[in-house]
Chains A and B, each alone.
Chain A
C-alpha cells in the first residue's frame, strides 16, 4: 500500500470513528448539563445523577434487570455448554441439525419473536414477569453461548481425550475433569456476553414484562417517549460504565486464558 493510500486510509478511518462515537459522547456530555434542554449549556452539574439514586422506580427496574440478566446468564451457560458438548458426541448430520436449530432464535426478527412468545405464553396462562423474561432472554442468549463454547471445543487437542480414554476414563469423567476446565474461559466469556445482551434487550422485554417486573431498558424507552431530560443521559452513562466493566472483565478472562495456552 503506497503512502497516498495510507494517508487516505488514516483519514477515512479517523473520520469514521469520530462519527461513530459522537452520538455516544453527546449523551454523556449533556448528562452534566445544568439546563434540562440541549438548547443551551448552563454549566456543569451532578444533580441529574443524584436524582437517579432517589428514583425508586429506576432502582427497582435496575434490580429486576440484574436479576433477570443473572438468571439468564446462568441458564444460558448451562444449556449452551451442555448442547455444545453434546454436539461433539453426536453424528455429523445431527450436529448440523443442532446448529440450525440453535441459530433459529437469532434469525427471527425480535418483533415477530416477541409477539409469538406473547401469544404463546398468554395461551398457557403464564404470569408475566421474571419467568417469562428469563425464558425469552435465554432463548436468544443460548445460541451465543453455544457458538462460543463450540468454537473452543473444536480447538481442543483430540489426543488429550484419546489418551484419557485409553487410560480408562468414563465419558462423564472426561467431560468433568478435562473438557469443562478447558472450555471454562469460553463459558465465562460467553456468560458475560449473555449478561450484557440480556441487560440491553428492549424489544422482547417490552412484551414479556409484567406489573411487578419492568426491566430497565423498557423503562428507559418509556422515559424517552414521555419527557426527555438529562436524567436519561445520566442513566445511560451509568449503564455505559457498567457495561464496560463487564466487557473489561470478559477481556481479562479471555486474555488470561490465552496467555496460559501459550505457556502450555
Chain B
C-alpha cells in the first residue's frame, strides 16, 4: 500500500514540476522580444529594462559576456540569435569591417538627434551609421593616500609611482593585457598598442618589474579591494572608481599626466537580427533624455546624450570623475588596432603572469 502511495506522490510532484516548466515556456512569444549581448554588473540597469518591458510589452533577453572578443565570437557563430550588442569602440570597427553590422535606419530613431556631436564622427564609425553611443568612460588610478603614506611610499601622482617598492602586494588592476601593457607604454611616454619591436620589448621589461606590486587582477570589482583595505592603489574604470569613492571617502582619483584611455561603449545591430523592429524601439527608448540621465546616474558612466544633461543631478555634474575636465579629455586616446597587437600582447601578458 505504502509503495503505491509513495509512487503516486512522486508522480504528482514530478508532473507538477513538468507542468510549471512548460507553462513557463509558453509565455515567451517570438515577436515580442529582443536578444541582447551586454556586459555584466547591471551595465544596462535592470530598472531601465523593466521599464521598457512594462511600457512596450517587449521582453528583453540578455547574455552577459566578459570581453569584446567574446561578443565577437558569439556574433560570428550565431548572428541570427542576437539583435543588439554593446561593444567598445574598437570592436565596432572590427565588426563593421567584417560586415556583421546593420546600417541603422535613422528614420526609425527619432531620438538620434539627442546624441552629443562631440562623441560622434570617430574613427570607428565616421558617418555614425552603425553605432549608437551608450556610455562614456575612462580609466585612471584610484588611490588611498593615507594607506600609501602608511606604507612609507611617496604620494601617487602618475603611473610611474606605481613601481615603488614600498607598494609591494598592494595594487589591484583590471585584468587585460591591452590595458596593463597600455599603462606601461604610457609610463614610458609611448602610444597605446605600440607595434615597434624595440618599444614593445622595453615595455615588456618594465611590465615584469611591476609584478610584485600587484596583489590582484580583477576586471569586475577592483574597487572592492580598495574599499576593504586589501590594496592602497588601483587602476580601474571610471565607473568603478566612482563606486569606490562613494563607499569610502578616503579614496581619491588620480588622473595621470602620462595619458589615459577613453572608451565609448556603443550599441550595434546584427545584420541578421531576428527582431529588428523591436530592437529599434529599444534603442529609441534609451535615447530619451530622462532615460539617458537615469542610466548615467545608476551606472556612473558619463552620458553621450546631450539632451539628458539637463536632467542630471548636481552631484553628478560636480564629480570630476564623471564630468571630465577639458584638460583630462585632451589627454585621453582610444585603443586603436587592438586586433593587430592582441596575440603578441596576450603572450607577453601570459609570461608576465607566470613569473
A226 engages B63 (CB within 8 Å): no
B10 engages A67 (CB within 8 Å): no
Q: Is A134 an interface residue (CB 8 A)?
A: no
B62 engages A211 (CB within 8 Å): yes
Which residues of chain B (36-95) have a CB below 8 Å from chain A? 36-37, 40-41, 46, 50, 61-64, 66, 77-78, 81-82
> CB within 8 A of B220: which of A122, A209, A226?
A226
Q: Is B21 an interface residue (CB 8 A)?
A: yes
B62 engages A63 (CB within 8 Å): no
Contact with A along B1-12 (1 / 0, CB 8 A): 011001000100
- Residues of A contacting B18 with CB < 8 Å? 70
Complex CA gap A212/B63 in Å reads 7
A249 engages B10 (CB within 8 Å): yes
A56 engages B50 (CB within 8 Å): yes
Tally of contacts, chain A with chain B, CB under 8 A: 66
Residues of B within 8 A of A (CB-CB), count: 32
> CB within 8 A of A67: which of B6, B25, B35, B224?
B25
A67 engages B24 (CB within 8 Å): yes
Q: Is A214 an interface residue (CB 8 A)?
A: yes
A252 engages B6 (CB within 8 Å): yes
Contact with B along A208-252 (1 / 0, CB 8 A): 011110100000001001111000000000000000000001001
Mostly, the B contact residues are: mixed
Known A-B contacts A211-B81, A212-B28, A222-B40; A256 and B21 likewise in contact (beta carbons under 8 Å): no
Q: Is B228 an interface residue (CB 8 A)?
A: yes
B41 engages A226 (CB within 8 Å): yes
How distant is B57 from chain A, measured CB to nearest CB, in Å? 15
Q: Is B221 an interface residue (CB 8 A)?
A: yes
Contact with B along A52-91 (1 / 0, CB 8 A): 0001110000010011001000000000000000000000
Q: Is B17 an interface residue (CB 8 A)?
A: yes
Complex CA gap A226/B218 in Å reads 10
Complex CA gap A214/B36 in Å reads 13
Which residues of chain B (72-130) have a CB below 8 Å from chain A? 77-78, 81-82
Q: Is A128 an interface residue (CB 8 A)?
A: yes
How distant is B311 from chain A, measured CB to nearest CB, in Å? 26
Which residues of A come within 8 Å of B, CB atoms?
37, 39, 55-57, 63, 66-67, 70, 122, 127-128, 188, 209-212, 214, 222, 225-228, 249, 252-253, 256, 260
Q: 29 A–B contact pairs at CB < 8 A?
A: A57-B46, A63-B24, A66-B17, A66-B20, A67-B21, A67-B25, A122-B77, A128-B78, A188-B10, A210-B63, A210-B78, A211-B35, A211-B61, A211-B62, A211-B82, A212-B33, A214-B63, A214-B64, A222-B64, A222-B66, A225-B66, A225-B220, A226-B40, A226-B220, A227-B220, A228-B221, A228-B224, A252-B6, A256-B2
